[in-house]
Structure 1
Amino acid sequence: MIAVSVVSHGHGEMVTSLVASLLPFPEVSRILVTLNRPESLPLPEDERILVIRNAFAKGFSANHNTAYAFCREPFFCVVNPDIELRSNPFPALLQASAKADAALTAPMVLSLQGTVENSFRRFPNLRRLVAKVLGQVDQSYTAIPEEQDIFFPEWVAGMFMLFSSVDFAALNGFDEKFFLYYEDVDICVRAWKSGRKVAVCPAAAVVHDARCSSHHDIRFLRWHLASMARYFYKHWGRLPAVPITRT
């Protein structure tokens, strides 16, 4: 029913642990593991696991689009390697996806300490960008929806995204001109523009074991700025209006 795409950038045991946690879930019929750089990854022996080895490093969008080419399931799920699954989020997510008729459904994302992370937000604009530079926290969605509600934010972070495969194909997947950063914002913009929905299911939760030490590398800053520039060039003045609704 669900093909899960995970990309390893030398994450090693973190990916092995994530794959092992996915295998018992009956909804997961395929696990697509992309090795974005050479590494020896001790994965469990299971016919549902397909390993894709890149000849050269690709960006977030290209990696998951390539993995999608192997998807034969009705749902395609993008999961970052630093996500922990302490319980099965898929029954609630699938139920919410059907109820909301959503192209993309995401769970609540919790920190290791159990606090809710800011994984669903309003679209970036100049005012919000300036506020972020000044260190102000985006308070757009501070009221967390009550359990069992389905919430429709403007965009959700790419660390865990459950797509209807039909809708992912109709959107032509992620824009590969975004190498890293903003590809999640962009696909949500395009989903809403096309009349599709982006939903969050508070009844499902995953844990984000964030490890951002590599992001001190100047390359990440350049990728971030380049993606930001592309996002504003592509969508400036053309962002869809998304009403705050729940079901």
Structure 2
Amino acid sequence: MIHIPVQILSNAVEFERYIEDCVLALRQQNGVGKQYKLTANIVAYEPVQAATIARVKALSSDHFMANVIIIDRNCGYGEKQNLIWREYTKKLVEPFDAFITMNPDMILMPDVLDKLYSTFISSAGRANIVEARQFPIENPPRAFDHETLEVNWCSGACILISAAFFERAKGFDEAIYLYCEDVDLSWRAWLDGGLCLYRHDAVVAHMTRGIFEARYNSHSVATHEFNMALSHLILTWKYFSANEGALASKMKLFWDNQWIARHTKEAALAQLEAIKPRIERFAQSHPRIDILDFGLYSDMRPNLI
């Protein structure tokens, strides 16, 4: 039986609102109990209700384990995911060759697990990341090759990752606090010699997007813009600073963008200067790695829906 761990990172609101439905959808994936065994490491980084924890744990079965883990760590998304990998997933006794990271507000259609894993296996070891498609709105609708399924980067909302690649890459870049850690991991997957694939027929409902929720989200727009600006600058420095002309071109895109306030950009640039010693720079490039505009890392296409 194929063992596939799943890493889910959740705040308190997400845990209470979505986690039971998310876990139920995982447990009901095609092949669980016959072909697949899942171990879900569900990590909450804020206090959550004991009753909800008990209900989630009660969803465990012989071939589906729901582990609820509480951590007290004030750090970025990537660092938290690395902690789950290092302290829990990697230490699982039963071997595995790939694992899933996903948001808690995801409801997988029954065939998603099998489609992601079968794509990983059929790539003959070349697929470092395989992404599912988000419904009703992709994040964002990136251009991809319908024949090869290759895409310029995979959104981390629901992805299957090669365990060997993740270990070689030393996980997510912990210098990135929030946003674009998936872009960065995808680009390092290309530089590692592997593929980033988009399984557009493996559909997951993203419950905080589009028709599912009228509100924007629970965090402030100002915080969102600062983190987006900083992450964008980190990618610019990591992948284009080895070429003076390329760096100048990408920084011009940053400053020319009209959607983010200049004082936010200046604050993000100051933070970049402070963390530069922590950032690994790449001298080599790859034709799929590019920044087309602020926050735009791939050609766009019309949404599938």
1:38 maps onto 2:38 in alignment: no
Matched, 1:93 2:116: yes
- Kept after mapping to 2: 8 A contact 1:109/1:119: no
Which amino acid letter does the alignment assign opposite residue 165 of structure 1? A
The AA in structure 2 aligned to 1:200 is Y
Aligned pairs (5 A) from 1:1-247 = 1-10=3-12, 11=14, 12-25=16-29, 26=32, 27-40=36-49, 41-42=52-53, 43-45=56-58, 46=60, 48-69=65-86, 70-71=88-89, 72=92, 73-100=96-123, 101-111=126-136, 117-119=138-140, 121=142, 141=143, 145=146, 149-209=147-207, 210=209, 212-236=216-240, 237=246, 239-242=285-288
2:43/2:70 contact within 8 Å kept: yes
TM-superposed deviation, 1:44: 3.5
**One-letter amino acid of the structure 2 residue matched with residue 97 of structure 1:** F
> Structure 2 stretches of 5 or more lacking a match?
241-245, 247-283, 290-305
TM-score (norm 1): 0.79
Structure of greater Rg: 2
Which segment is superposed worse, 155-164 or 69-78? Answer: 69-78
Q: In the alignment, what sits opposite 1:127? A: none
Measure the CA separation in 2 of the matches of 1:76 and 1:166.
10
Paired positions, count: 217
Matched AA of 2:135: L
**1:86: how far off?**
2.8
CA distance in 2, matches of 1:87, 1:144: 24
Shift of 1:58: 2.8
CA distance in 1, matches of 2:140, 2:39: 25
Query: Which one scores higher on RCO, CA 8 angstroms, separation ≥ 6?
Result: 1
Identical counterparts, % of pairs: 21
> Counterpart of 2:266?
none
Q: How many Å separate the matches in 2 of 1:24 and 1:87?
A: 6
The separation in 2 between residues aligned to 1:93 and 1:204, in whole angstroms, is 7
Question: Does the CA-based 8 Å contact 2:57-2:67 persist in structure 1?
Answer: no
Counterpart CA distance in 2 for 1:22 and 1:58 is 27
Amino acid at match of 2:199: C
Residue type of the partner of 2:48? E
- For 2:41, give the aligned amino acid: L
* Number of the residue aligned with 1:136: none
2 CA distance for matches of 1:66 and 1:104?
19
Unmatched 5+ residue regions in structure 1? 122-140
In the aligned structure 2, how far is the partner of 1:214 from the partner of 1:220? 11
**Tell me, what secondary structure is at the counterpart of 1:213?**
coil
Quick check: 178-187 or 18-27, which moved more?
A: 18-27
TM-superposition CA deviations, 1:160-196 (whole Å, max 9, x none): 1101111111111100111100100101111101111
C-alpha contact 2:145 2:151 (8 A) present in aligned 1: no
Normalising by structure 2, what TM-score?
A: 0.65
> Contact between 2:129 and 2:154, CA under 8 Å: does it hold in 1?
no
C-alpha distance in structure 2 between counterparts of 1:175 and 1:88, whole Å: 31
Are the aligned partners of 1:78 and 1:162 in contact in 2 as well (CA < 8 Å)? yes
